[in-house]
Amino acid sequence: MARRNIWLILSCLIMLASAVAPARAQDRLKIGITLHPYYSFVANIVGDLADIVPLIPASVNPHGYQPQAEDIKRAMSMDALVVNGIGHDEWAFEIIAAAGRQQDLPLIYANASVALIPIAGTGEEKIVNPHTFISTTAAVQQVYEIAQRLGEIDPPHADVYRANAREYAARIRRLRADFMTRFVELSRDGFRAATMHAGYDYLFQEFGLQIAAIIEPRHGVAPTPRQLARTIEEIKAANVTALFSEKYFVTNLAETVRRETGVAVYALSHISEGPFTPEKFEDEMRANIETLARAVAEASH
């Protein structure tokens, strides 16, 4: 009932949002984004040729986000919206519907050309992992997809978008290449990993690493005592040496698992908190890969 009332309020705001929407130059796009990495991607593609409008505030965690009245106003101002579209921003489609923009708001599905993988540990091929943005390889694919679609929406600037995308993609590839040299020199024989939730499959895959166990059945959902006990036994049986938790998501589970198994705990960024900046994806991915390399190195000692 509470959720129905929220959307009733949101729907009532449509006329108000339309009435108060500020006038803007017709030749300057307002491009919406749903997640922090997409802000970085779009900012590096468009430069100063367009405005970027985050659909939800930077201060909130997108996991399980509950749409607010202000979101509909932002949706009304957008000329296009970049979405994950495979499970990480389902709330965006609720906002679009409440704003009555299903028919006239172009959606750019960032993952349209990404080779998707199933969530590790589920045993179900149909459950794809939506965390494609925690990866350099998949990020490059998304950058090119976004640039292509923006060029179709804004043909006069299509060449600039493509050129900017190539330059940005080259930086991301260099970031990965810098660490690949280090990983080649590291012994992985003693490295066995578990993660708090299935957010890092793409990152691990591109560096040739596997995940032996996942603690949370869903992000932010604590396992039952029986599930946790079974997972701890799996971790012990697999000789897991490193547990990766989310940097911005505080949980006592990681400490419980560390205490019960003796594994070392490392924090990786989900790239889902803090200010929206053009540099955020590169900065936090560099820190993530550095942490991963350190964990592999320490496991071999």
Q: What is the pLDDT of residues 99-131, one digit of tens each?
A: 999 999 999 999 999 999 987 654 555 689 999
Cα torsion angle, 257, 258, 263, 267, sign: positive
Per-residue model confidence as pLDDT tens digits over 211-268:
988 887 666 667 788 888 888 888 898 899 999 988 866 567 788 888 888 899 999 9
Kind plus residue range of the DSSP H or E element containing 256:
helix 253-261
Nearest to 203 by CA among 250, 264, 268: 268
User: What six digits make up the tokens of 61?
Assistant: 């965690």
Q: How far apart are CA 271 and CA 281, in angstroms?
A: 7
Determine the angle formed by the axes of helices 280-299 and 36-46, rounding to 10 degrees: 130
User: What six digits make up the tokens of 11?
Assistant: 């729907």
How far apart are the two ends of the chain, measured CA to CA in Å?
56
Cβ-Cβ contacts under 8 Å for 170 (sequence gap 6 or more): none
User: What six digits make up the tokens of 113?
Assistant: 């050309």
Of residues 116 and 20, which shows the higher confidence score? 116
- The pLDDT of 42-55, averaged and rounded, is 98
Per-residue pLDDT band for 18 (boundaries 50, 70, 90) equals: very low
Nearest to 34 by CA among 117, 108, 115, 119: 108
Task: Set out the domains of the chain in order of their start, with CATH numbers.
Answer: 2-172 (3.40.50.1980), 187-299 (3.40.50.1980)
Nearest to 223 by CA among 258, 251, 201, 246: 251
Strand partners, 186: none
